[in-house]
Structures are given as structure tokens and as C-alpha cells.
Copies of this chain bind each other. A is one copy, B any other.
């Protein structure tokens, strides 16, 4: 078993949380002064761990094991949402540094397979979601960077000046990077509800998001008889009810769906709604499940247009599911078992850098419990013992994976 130093890990997490500290959380959006300072600090920690560290022009901090030809890449991101938590992303990066340090201390470094560490930039999408991991994987073109702006209008190209002294964006090297592992807080309630401490992610769910609009005729709610109404709101209520009634049978056991937004226009108590709009979102690991739900929804929308109300549907977001690599999932589960834990195998309903990496390199994720399921909030937290255990399990999984990859590459 690889020994990690839990106190050192927690101290580094605390030290990182001082960059952009905000009440009990952190406000460290990509390219903010706090983010830039944190990345320079991270590069120093990586150097102390014996890694060659660079901060490239998009802000990715990458530490390479100078003693190894091949490497398992460990990491996550250190940017946050505004007024976010201290662990979302940071946990995976600090665990990666701690594991690199511990493996070196254990004399495990210098083998055929080393450990590289990364903190990707702007996973949260202040300017461009997954900016760092997409640049690293070569799936981002210059035009996207040139067009990207924050909500307040600030151009990504302008704020990138903070890292203009860095090298060209570093790229994943398929001959070097044999796998990517990411530790992260769950950002949901499943581990806590199940009373488990370790989650092994089976994949990052695909997302289909739709805007559904009903168009009827706005009319006086007192003088328009029921039979003469073209009530866009009533049509949408019926459709939303159908979604909640029918999706349980159409989805799988892990499928989630959300009607997160609903609005009637003009929206006055005494006016029959002339227009109504809602969002419908569904997430699952299985494209076939998403296809089946989308087809059923589209058929119901087509049938909903009656009584002078037209209903239209537009697909606004598509994210393809990304399965985690079977052998990485297996080694994470073995490592958890080696620590006496029975992990929960679960999909991640939130996006992560592992989704971008997982499309081109074998990838896996380990989750630790989020207290109360809370994230993207200054109240976000995880028990210290769970953080230390998560890092230890990940370290064990990395050691086992490096060993297997070394055997395989001989």
C-alpha cells in the first residue's frame, strides 16, 4: 500500500483555499487575480514534488515527471464558479500533487510509468467551458478562443494575457499519457445517502436539453369562455405532466430529467397565456436511452398541437455520454476494497475534465461524499477523513495501474 500524508494534503488544500477566500468558500474564477496567483503557487508545489512544471498560455499548470517516459496523468481544475466551494476541482489537483510526492518518497518514481499532474483552466466555463482540457486534447480551435467572452463581456483573448509568458498550450501526448485519473467531490447526495465514502464513476452522462414553446392567443381571463380559449399555458402544463408521468418508464435506473424553467407570457393572473415556454433536460450514460426519450418527447410535442395551440421543440444542448475506461474503473474499485471500502458505482451527472480526456485516453474518476450534496456554493464541504481516504484510495489505484501498465508495455 502506498502511504500518503493526510495532514500535508489537508494543509495544501487549506493553503490553496486562501487564494480567493470568500466566507467559508472560494471565489476564484478563471483568470482572476486569485486564479493566476493560485496557478503560480501550484507550479511551485509541483516543482517541490520533483516535477517539471509549466503554465501554458491558456493557464493549464502541468507538472511532468522528468524520470519517466510514460505517465499516468492525475488532476482536475483549480478555477471555481463565483462564490464557489473550496473543493470542487481543487481536491483533485491537490490529491494529484500529494500522490506524485508520495510515490516519489516511496521510491516508486523512476519506473517506466511515472505520474504527471495537471490543473486545467476554466473547467467552470467563465469564458469557455473545459477551456484547459479541450486545449490539452486539441479539440479547441483558435476561432473559439477568439470569440469567447465572459457574461460581463470581457474577452478571453484579453485575459489570456496573464499567461502570455508561458509556452504554447501543452498537448496530451498519446505515447506518454497512458491514462487520466481525477478525484472530485460527488456534488450530489448519493454517497452520503448510501452511507458510503468512495464512489467509482462509470461514466459522464450525456445531456439532451430542449426548449419547448407553446403558442396560443393571449385573452381576457374573465371574458373569454373556456371553449374559445387557445391557452398556451394549459398545453404546456399537460406536456410537463406527461414528461413526469412517462419518463420513469422510458428511462433507465440512473436516468435523470429536469423541467427547470417554465414561464407563461404575458404572465398576468387575469390573462390567458398566449405563449408558454419550458426547458426539458435528460441525462443518461446510454445514448439509446436518450434517443428513446427524445423520440417519445418529440412525438408527444407533435400530438400536443391542438385546439389552436401550436407546440414546437428545439434541441438546445447535446452532450455525448463518455464511458470511463473499464480497466480504470476496475482498479479504482480494487483500491477501494484494499482500503476496506465497498464503493458505489455511479454515473456522474455533472461534466468534468475527465469527460474531455476520456474521449481520447482511458480515464477514470473517484468521488468522495459531498456533505448535504451541496456544491457550487461556499457551504460545499467534505469530511477531512473522507478527503484523506479518497486520496489514499486514488494513490493505491495509481500504483496498481502504473504496475499493470508497466507490465503491459514491456
A283 within 8 A of B: yes
Q: Is A205 an interface residue (CB 8 A)?
A: yes
Chain B residues, CB < 8 A from A220: 187-188, 349-350, 373, 375-376
Contact B237 A241 (CB under 8 A): yes
B187–A221 touching, CB < 8 Å: no
Neighbour of A189 across the interface among B228, B233, B241, B244, CB < 8 A: B228
Smallest CB separation, A240 vs chain B (Å) = 4
B residues near A269, Cβ cutoff 8 Å: 209, 258, 260-261, 279, 281, 316-317
Compute how far the CA of A260 lies from the CA of B276 in the bound complex, rounded to whole angstroms.
10
A326 close to B (CB within 8 Å): no
**A199-220: which have CB < 8 Å to B?**
205, 207, 209, 219-220
Q: Does A188 lie within 8 Å of B224, measured CB to CB?
A: yes
- Which residues of chain B are near A276, meaning CB under 8 Å? 262
Whether the Cβ atoms of B264 and A223 lie closer than 8 Å is no
- Interface residues of chain A: helix, strand, loop or mixed (majority): mixed
Chain B neighbourhood of A234, CB < 8 A: 244, 259
Q: Does A238 contact B (CB under 8 A)?
A: yes
Name the residue on B nearest A234 (C-beta).
Answer: B244
Q: Is A57 an interface residue (CB 8 A)?
A: no
Contact: A262 with B260, CB < 8 Å? no
B283–A222 contact, CB under 8 A? Answer: yes
Contact B256 A221 (CB under 8 A): yes
Interface code A270-284, partner B: CB below 8 Å = 1, 0 otherwise?
111100100101010
B219 touches A373 (CB 8 A): yes
Which residues of chain A (52-91) have a CB below 8 Å from chain B? none
**Contacting pair A188 B225 (CB below 8 A):** yes
Verify if A190 is at the interface (C-beta below 8 Å from B): yes
- A349 contacts across to B, CB distance below 8 A: 220-224
Interface residue A348 (Cβ < 8 Å from any Cβ of B): yes
| Bound Cα distance from A316 to B270, whole angstroms | 12
**A248: interface (CB < 8 Å):** yes
| A267 & B261 in contact (Cβ 8 Å cutoff) | yes
A226 close to chain B: CB less than 8 A: yes
Q: Which residues of B contact A190 (CB under 8 A)?
A: 223, 225, 228
Q: How far is the CA of A233 from the CA of B240 in the complex (A)?
A: 10
**Residues of B contacting A186 with CB < 8 Å?**
223
**A224 and B261 contacting across the interface, CB-CB below 8 Å:** no
CB neighbours (8 Å) of A147 from chain B are: none
* Residues in A lying within 8 Å of B, measured CB to CB: 186-190, 193, 205, 207, 209, 219-226, 228, 231, 233-234, 237-238, 240-241, 244, 248, 254-264, 267-273, 276, 279, 281, 283, 316-317, 348-351, 373, 375-376
Give me 20 other A-B pairs in contact (C-beta within 8 A), A190-B225, A269-B279 excluded. A186-B223, A190-B223, A209-B269, A220-B350, A220-B375, A220-B376, A221-B283, A222-B283, A222-B350, A223-B348, A226-B256, A228-B373, A237-B244, A258-B269, A258-B272, A259-B273, A260-B264, A260-B267, A261-B264, A261-B267
**What are 11 contact pairs spanning A and B, CB under 8 A?**
A187-B220, A187-B223, A189-B223, A190-B225, A223-B350, A223-B373, A226-B257, A234-B244, A258-B269, A258-B272, A260-B268
